[in-house]
Amino acid sequence: MDGFLLSRADRTVQTTGTRRLYSDVTSASRALRRNEAELIAGALPFDPERPVALAQPEEIVVTDGPWKPPEDLPDLPPVRVAAQIPLPRVHVARVRSLVERLELDEFDKVVAARRVALEADDPIDPLALAARMIDRHPDAATYALDLSAAGERFWGHTLVGASPELLVSVRGDTVTCRPLAGTAARDDDPVADEWAGEQLLASAKNLAEHAFVTSWIRARLAPLCSDLDIPATPELTSTPDVWHLATPITGTLRDPHTDALTVAAALHPTPAVAGTPTEAALATIRAVEGDRRFYGGAVGWCDAGGDGDWLVAIRCAELSSDGLRAVAWAGGGIVAGSDPHAELDETTAKLRTLLGTLGL
Ligand SMILES: C=C(O[C@H]1C=CC=C(C(=O)O)[C@@H]1O)C(=O)O
């Protein structure tokens, strides 16, 4: 796939071709400020030390409403699970060890993730997968983008997902964020399902897990924004697979020239994907999991006026250049009191967003 697609309920940005690549957020933001680029789209990796995938496209199409896929997209092929990395019992053991380290005050929260390697009989077309994800997850932001700009390790690879989590949106001088943290699986039985949501909203452990994210975002946004409105308690939101705790946040840019890409970089990675304190959480994730590549990163666009949308790159998979292999990730926030088996189940529920779309 050549280009970028971000489909949200109100607006779709689709680009093709590459006019120029940027090696970091600062040079991309400078190009926007100097009007050298009309729009820059792409992704920030999970690990801020790794290369970004940001490009000025050749062609840009912005439309109202969600993406309307072309009729001639190929069917999705049969897909099977080739490996779980690590094995589920190893993930449980990792979480147990992280909880012990939390009790020793090494960090307050850390996000533990695992991945599933997939194999397909025929190539998975990234746009066909995105189209199916929009059908199944109409309230999420669906994305599909070429990661080649991040260097040789990513040549021809694409990232496809349906994220329920808005990192930041900027329109004029208005900043909006909607962090998520705290999860419960949905239930087929409507009564049990409603109960699961109510329990989540009342869960001290999940409220604490969520508060680490909102207080971190407050600290990061305060230098950039005035009139910060961050409700004291989260609200309940849902995807077809899971319930989440969400906090809608708004603010006004102190300097109206600050662009959406700069705000996204200042807010990434939040404790919803890394943990807190950030450096201790990142060091732990690097040592325990290795490189998460673009899972847990940010996907979005920013225009020369500074407006833009950046989504947290979760509920996604990275597809190989031939489309025959894919890796899907899911993680969950670990805090004092986290139950290792429940954390494994939570990642399984979150993986359903991607795996269910592929018929698994
Ligand atoms: C890290 C993920 O989810 C984040 C977003 C919502 C809820 C989360 C949680 O409850 O742990 C995570 O912070 C993921 O889906 O891989």
pLDDT tens profile 123-176: 999 999 999 999 999 999 999 999 999 999 999 999 999 999 999 999 999 999
Could you give the domains of the chain?
4-72+82-357 (3.60.120.10)
| pTM of the complete model | 0.98
ipTM of the predicted assembly exceeds 0.85: yes
Task: Determine the pLDDT at residue 270.
Answer: 98
Please choose from 178, 350, 353 the residue to mutate so as to test ligand 1's pocket, defined by most ligand atoms within 8 A of CB: 350
Task: Determine the pLDDT at residue 342.
Answer: 97
Average of per-residue pLDDT values in the chain: 97
244 lines ligand 1 (CB under 6 A): yes
Tell how far the Cα of 285 is from the centroid of ligand 1, in angstroms. Answer: 15
Tell how far the Cα of 240 is from the centroid of ligand 1, in angstroms. Answer: 15
Residue 296: pLDDT band with limits 50, 70, 90: very high
Tell how far the Cα of 41 is from the centroid of ligand 1, in angstroms. Answer: 24
Tell how far the Cα of 331 is from the centroid of ligand 1, in angstroms. Answer: 6
182 lines ligand 1 (CB under 6 A): yes
Identify the sign of the CA torsion 61, 46, 183, 127.
positive
Query: Which pair of tokens denotes residue 223?
Result: 């230098």
* Residue among 269, 239, 230, 326 nearest 111 (CA): 269
Query: Which pair of tokens denotes residue 71?
Result: 């009729």
pLDDT digits (tens, 9 = 90+) for 200-221: 999 999 999 999 999 999 999 9
Please choose from 133, 183, 293 the residue to mutate so as to test ligand 1's pocket, defined by most ligand atoms within 8 A of CB: 183
Alpha helices in the chain (DSSP H): 25-33, 88-103, 126-136, 190-201, 204-221, 260-267, 278-289, 340-357
Please choose from 46, 108, 111 the residue to mutate so as to test ligand 1's pocket, defined by most ligand atoms within 8 A of CB: 111
Burial class (CB in 10 A: 0-12, 13-18, 19+), 123: middle
- Average pLDDT rounded to a whole number, residues 218-226: 98
Task: Determine the pLDDT at residue 201.
Answer: 98
- Average pLDDT rounded to a whole number, residues 41-70: 97
Query: Which pair of tokens denotes residue 73?
Result: 């997209």
Report the distance separating Cα 139 and Cα 83, nearest Å.
30
Residue 57: pLDDT band with limits 50, 70, 90: very high
Instruction: Give the contacts of 141 (CB within 8 A, at least 6 positions apart).
Output: 6, 7, 8, 162, 163, 164, 166, 309, 311
165 lines ligand 1 (CB under 6 A): yes
222 Rama class: left (phi>0) / alpha (psi -120 to 50) / beta? alpha
Task: Determine the pLDDT at residue 197.
Answer: 98
Q: How many CA atoms lie within 13 A of 271 on its CB side?
A: 27
Report the distance separating Cα 130 and Cα 126, nearest Å.
6
Task: Determine the pLDDT at residue 200.
Answer: 98
Report the distance separating Cα 346 and Cα 336, nearest Å.
16
The 8-class DSSP code of residue 314 comes to -
Task: Determine the pLDDT at residue 208.
Answer: 96
Residue nearest to atom 13 of ligand 1 (CA): 272
CB 136 within 8 A of CB 356: yes
111 lines ligand 1 (CB under 6 A): yes
- Average pLDDT rounded to a whole number, residues 196-201: 98
pLDDT digits (tens, 9 = 90+) for 234-271: 999 999 999 999 999 999 999 999 999 999 999 999 99
- Average pLDDT rounded to a whole number, residues 277-288: 98
